[in-house]
Amino acid sequence: MTDMMAGPPVDVAMPPDAIIRIKNLKKVFGDNVVLHDVNFYCPKGRVVSVLGPSGSGKSTMLRCINLLETPTSGEIWFEDQLVNSHETDVDALRAKIGMVFQQFNLFPHLTALGNVELALKKVRKMDKEQAEHIALEQLDKVGLLDRADFLPSQLSGGQAQRVAIARALAMEPHVMLFDEATSALDPSLVRDVLDVMRDLAKSGMTMIVVTHEMMFARDVSDHVVFMRDGVVYEQGTPEKIFEHPDREGTREFLQGLIDITPGQEILQDQPDSFMTSSVHFQRKGAGMI
């Protein structure tokens, strides 16, 4: 790991007040260069969606932010702290950067309450009563107060994922990372989780969301990063990426997600509405397909 203690880089394109700044991030596994040169930032209180085909490096990028992977080179800044520095206190960093995974990662032997309480007791050193109070508050926020004593195996996938979100929120993170949080869920359970994520965005939480939920990316995010082959291939506002991307590859990717039943016509005189492989995606303008 390169020790870069020279202070924040001065870069007009990367506002120094952004809560997360990723600069020239490179990650190599053996001789496989998974991230070549990733650059983007996330301002405080904003939502950045990260889209891209499987294998493009989205999870690796996200995992580098809280050091679940060690960047090979480049810089990741969290607030005014260089993340990939030998001086980083990893537990303290992860307490401030909440992460939600596709597979929930709940402890199977602990109840919903037990899962949410755990880090409060272990990392925050709270006593039982205080941890329980906060954990119940968070479970209530995700609509699961009545499931506090259930084991993960007794919860639906959507409920388990909401427990995972409550667990992350209990630590009062400054930013939340979501890695395809709804991809493992039965389609009927996706909505509840997305609703929780929408509410969170509305409450002002800073979020970086890797997702295939195009409607969520379109409606909720302030900025969209499209990754391909380990680089940020194109980024911009949701309007730009979804309606008039600059690059053909972005257009191709978005078109590839669209699965229109043969014979089904898209009406040009009303907002377009069609099914993607996983979500119902509505588009305002015409002309993309």
List interacting residues with ligand ADP (CB under 6 A). Answer: 29, 32, 34, 52, 54-60
Report the C-alpha gap between 229 and 36 in whole angstroms: 8
34 vs 100, beta carbon nearer ligand ADP? 34
135 vs 210, beta carbon nearer ligand ADP? 210
Cβ neighbours of residue 223 under 8 Å, at least 6 residues apart? 40, 42, 46, 47, 48, 49, 235, 236, 237, 238
Helix axis angle, 128-141 to 112-122, nearest 10°: 130
What is the β-pairing status of strands 272-275 and 280-283?
A: antiparallel
51 vs 120, beta carbon nearer Mg ion? 51
211 binds Mg ion (CB under 5 A): no
Decide which of Mg ion, ligand ADP, none touches 52; Cβ closer than 5 to 8 Å per partner kind: ligand ADP
* Helix runs in the chain, H state only: 58-65, 90-96, 112-122, 128-141, 157-170, 187-202, 214-220, 238-243, 248-256
170 vs 225, beta carbon nearer ligand ADP? 225
59 binds Mg ion (CB under 5 A): yes
SS3 (DSSP) at 173: coil
49 binds Mg ion (CB under 5 A): no
Cβ 223 to ligand ADP, closest distance in Å?
A: 18
Taking alpha carbons only, the member of 220, 215, 197, 175 closest to residue 42 is: 175
50 vs 120, beta carbon nearer Mg ion? 50
Report the C-alpha gap between 108 and 36 in whole angstroms: 37
Interacting residues with Mg ion between 214 and 233 (CB under 5 A): none
With CB atoms as reference, the residue minimizing the distance to Mg ion is: 59
Cβ 266 to ligand ADP, closest distance in Å?
A: 29
Cβ 63 to ligand ADP, closest distance in Å?
A: 8
Cβ 118 to ligand ADP, closest distance in Å?
A: 25
**Residues in contact with Mg ion by the rule CB under 5 A:** 59
